[in-house]
Amino acid sequence: MQSEAARLVAYRQLRDEIRNSERHLIVGLDIAKEKHFAFFGTSTGKVLCKQFTFPNSKDGFELLLARTEQLRLQQQLEAVVFGLEPTANYHKPLADYLVRQEKQVVQVSGVAVKQNRELLDGRWDKHDRKDAANIADLIAQGKCQFYEYPSLEIRQLRELLSLKHRFKKEEHGLKTRIRNNLLAKFFPEMDQFINTCQQDSFAVIGTCCAPELINELDYASFFSMVVPVYKGKRQEAHLMRIWQAARHSIGCLSGEVTNYEGQLLIRQLQSIRELIQEIEDRIKALCSNFPEYPCLLSIPGVGPDISSKLLAYIGDPNRFETVSQVIKLAGLDLSASRSGKTALKATPVISKRGNADLRYALYQAAMVASTKNNYFRSWLANQLKGREREQGILGIVRVKLAAKLLVIAWTLMKNKEMFAYEKLNYS
């Protein structure tokens, strides 16, 4: 199988020569769940096959390659490029198969597909055959993107991060359900105590959530039932406030069913948190195999979680040629509508067209670095000097710092070296 670097070189060459090329066979693929549609044409606008349907199976993939080779030989074309629009996860088996067969694969943006659709025939209708032709037309114009196929380790890391993200959403949903459904009805006074000492508060909800049942207990019995291990006076004072709040609660009348619901929700929450911890352990073990991992950990504000995301989403650092390409990866590049305006009146904002998870992680790193690290705290103060009264300026400067940290991470990964203050660009 071709290396990622060789595939990237071939893609850049394709972008340079695809327009009006007389040597390329273009295969546009419209992806579906059970079957796919293919359109065969050339960059000069010649249609070779309007519609070719094949099943989403190994036999179907082999049928596609056989038909492609047949048309290539008939038309005496030298090279073949397959293009597709990423559709959920349905496109991945076909793209994986084509890359492993050393075929050139590119992808097109969903936004470009939508905007280019009516340009084909001046109509707004949408169907599978037209979508395949639309994709082929975009490739013929050179409006395609590199289809990244990183190493197995990077793909596994991305899968683990995606899995962790889904469980984190479930955890947040459960916490919201506990606060907005259970406590809001039966023990609204309890909500104010959750953030101060979360572990003990959830222990109360999982043991005796109903205020009436708490009122039947004296404080010593309540304390021993909720937390068998004494952790100090702070814990004791926290539980005392909850016990006293239960005596004046305005919650609805409840009983054993409320307690049962609280126990179920807390057990489910604990189970999800254990799974998240297990995933985090596997992520940490996988990241330790990368030589770039210690380099990323050396950056101020960047911990294990953010380092894992930088490793996963940057992937091979050599696939980026310029700093602007790296910044676009996270959607931190600036864009503005300057039509009919002078440059002074146009307000640039970040595009947010890149990876949202990476962008959020970088902003968190910028928050930590600008508050905990002396160098970046001084840098932030210098950036704010004379602009303190501008609305939202603190967030704007932190976004700028997030982009700076991304470039630092990319540079360290590329050079495989540790973070050093003396090498920083002070602008």
pLDDT of residue 338: 66
Q: Looking at the 3D structure of the chain, how many domains does it have?
A: 3
Domain harbouring 89, CATH code: 3.30.420.140
Question: Is the pLDDT reported for residue 255 higher than 80?
Answer: no
pLDDT of residue 59: 95
pLDDT of residue 38: 94
pLDDT band at 345 (very low <50, low <70, confident <90, very high): low
Residues 160 and 145 in one domain: no
pLDDT band at 57 (very low <50, low <70, confident <90, very high): very high
pLDDT of residue 225: 87
- Extract the tokens encoding 201: 């508060």
pLDDT tens digits for 98-148?
A: 999 999 999 998 888 888 887 777 766 676 678 899 999 999 999 999 999
Question: Residue with structure tokens 């959020």?
Answer: 360
pLDDT of residue 40: 96
Residues 9 and 145 in one domain: yes
pLDDT of residue 127: 67
Residues 19 and 135 in one domain: yes
Buried-exposed string 45-80: b where 16+ CB fall within 10 A, e elsewhere: eeebeeebbbeeeeebbebbbebbeebbeeeebebb
pLDDT of residue 309: 96
Which of 106, 121, 149 terminates a domain? The answer is 149
The mean pLDDT of the chain is: 89
Which of 247, 266, 284 terminates a domain? The answer is 284
pLDDT of residue 130: 83
Mean pLDDT over residues 222-235, rounded? Answer: 84
Mean pLDDT over residues 394-400, rounded? Answer: 91
CA distance linking residue 289 with residue 228, whole number of Å? 41
Q: What is the 3-state secondary structure (H, E, C) of the chain?
A: CCCHHHHHHHHHHHHHHCCCCCCEEEEEEECCCCEEEEEEEECCCCEEEEEEEEECCHHHHHHHHHHHHHHHHHHCCCEEEEEECCCCCCCHHHHHHHHHCCCEEEECCHHHHHHHHHHHHCCCCCCHHHHHHHHHHHHHCCCCEECCCCCHHHHHHHHHHHHHHHHHHHHHHHHHHHHHHHHHHHCHHHHHHCCCCHHHHHHHHCCCCCHHHHHCCCHHHHHHHHCCCCCCHHHHHHHHHHHHHHHCCCCCCCCHHHHHHHHHHHHHHHHHHHHHHHHHHHHHHHHCCCCCHHHHHCCCCCCHHHHHHHHHHHCCHHHCCCHHHHHHHCCCCEECCCCCCCCCCCCCEECCCCCHHHHHHHHHHHHHHHHHCHHHHHHHHHHHCCCCCCCCHHHHHHHHHHHHHHHHHHHHHHHCCCCCHHHCCCC
pLDDT band at 200 (very low <50, low <70, confident <90, very high): confident
CA distance linking residue 285 with residue 160, whole number of Å? 12
CA distance linking residue 123 with residue 120, whole number of Å? 8
Which of 96, 128, 149 terminates a domain? The answer is 149
pLDDT of residue 125: 67
pLDDT of residue 390: 83
Residues 42 and 126 in one domain: yes
pLDDT of residue 248: 87
pLDDT band at 227 (very low <50, low <70, confident <90, very high): confident
Residues 248 and 335 in one domain: no
Percent of the chain past pLDDT 90, that is, above it, reads 54
Residues 396 and 372 in one domain: yes
pLDDT of residue 369: 94
pLDDT band at 339 (very low <50, low <70, confident <90, very high): low
CA 358 to mean position of chain CA atoms? 6
Residues 145 and 178 in one domain: no
Domain harbouring 267, CATH code: 1.10.287.4070
Mean pLDDT over residues 214-224, rounded? Answer: 87
pLDDT tens digits for 142-197?
A: 999 999 999 999 999 999 999 999 999 999 999 999 999 898 899 898 888 888 78
pLDDT tens digits for 261-290?
A: 999 999 999 999 999 999 999 999 999 999
Question: What is the domain range of residue 50?
Answer: 4-149
Residues 263 and 361 in one domain: no
Residues 43 and 123 in one domain: yes
Q: How far apart are the first and last CA of the chain?
A: 43
Question: Is the pLDDT reported for residue 319 higher than 60?
Answer: yes
Mean pLDDT over residues 224-237, rounded? Answer: 83
pLDDT of residue 251: 83
CA distance linking residue 424 with residue 320, whole number of Å? 20
pLDDT of residue 344: 61
Residues 302 and 188 in one domain: no
Residues 119 and 203 in one domain: no
pLDDT band at 340 (very low <50, low <70, confident <90, very high): low
Q: Which of 47, 234, 34 is nearest to 137 (CA)?
A: 47
Residues 70 and 143 in one domain: yes
